[in-house]
Structure 1
């Protein structure tokens, strides 16, 4: 039953995330100053996507766009089109980090690299960033 649900979600996810509002992206640099990025290299995209989708509220609150790369295949919560060149561009640029999970800040710099996805650790890392602290303060001041 669970495998069926995951399969249905993965089939429907691309229909949900494709949007006219977001431009097509060719690489992580297209998101600079707009989003933080979690970049994951793994063949186990079903389980990882489910874990990320289970934390959608926390991910959205932190302006995170995530990408799971499995060769040339890309799974993501990005709301627009992803170029066919994206996986090659991204893998080439971030392969030197050597980690399977990479957190990239809004400034485009690698903030954390790890071998496993630990969302609580990534969220804590983000929440300690000066830009995130300012975002939280602005939300409090605006009554959000």
Structure 2
């Protein structure tokens, strides 16, 4: 009985940790920009790198999550449903941050799996090339024509 209770608690905790991003599955691709501090130069540079590519983000159904240790917010260029206010929570940071590095960027595909992650600046060109090579993205492009 005790083991069953422990397993149930673990399952409930893991579901709570991911519930914010699970709602995007099969609807949007996600970019997580994670930093231990908002003052990080690479964090600022990553945001600047993506700021001018809003059309490409909307076309590829990308939502950006800016994640800091105790807060996060999202930017959705497709629906203009950006979360201008920070949400107080450490769940996303605890789940995705890297203890070895102060910065991390992650691409999560439509299926909810991690497609790319790195600890340095991700260029818009590399991001779009990675997404455009995915089978589901190629299907989207084909069906659009």
TM-score w.r.t. length of structure 2 = 0.66
- Residue 114 of structure 1 corresponds to 118
CA contact (8 A) 1:35 1:64 kept: yes
For residues 82-124 of structure 1, the C-alpha deviation after alignment (integer angstroms, 9 at most, x for no partner) is 8836x52322332369670100001000000111222211111
Where do 1:39-78 residues align within 5 Å? 39-42=32-35, 43=38, 44=40, 46-78=44-76
Q: Assess if the C-alpha contact under 8 Å between 2:109 and 2:115 holds in 1.
A: yes
- Alpha-carbon RMSD: 2.7
Residue ranges of structure 1 left out of the alignment (5+ in a row):
1-24
What TM-score, normalized to structure 1?
A: 0.67
Aligned length: 115
Q: Distance in 2 between matches of 1:62 and 1:28?
A: 17
Which of the residues 33, 36, 42 maps onto 2:26?
33
Q: Whose helix proportion is higher, 1 or 2? A: 1
Question: Within 5 A, what are the aligned runs for 1:122-137?
Answer: 122-137=127-142
Q: In structure 1, the residue corresponding to 2:87 is in which secondary structure? A: coil
- Which has the larger Rg? 2
Q: In structure 2, list runs of 5 or more residues that go unmatched.
A: 1-17
